[in-house]
Amino acid sequence: MPLTMVKQGEPGTIQRVGGKSETKKFLETLGFVAGSAVTVVSTAGGNLIVNVKDSRVALGKDMANKIFVFQ
Q: What is the pLDDT of residues 30-60, one digit of tens each?
A: 999 999 999 999 999 889 999 999 899 999 9
Q: Which of 42, 40, 45, 27 is nearest to 1 (CA)?
A: 40
Does position 16 have pLDDT exceeding 90, yes or no? Answer: yes
Query: Which residue range(s) make up the domain with 31?
Result: 3-70
For residue 57, what is the domain's CATH number?
2.30.30.90
> Into how many domains does the chain fold?
1
The reported pLDDT for the residue numbered 19 is 92
Mean pLDDT of the chain: 94
Specify the pLDDT at position 15: 97
How much is the pLDDT for 1? 94
Amino acid 12: pLDDT: 94
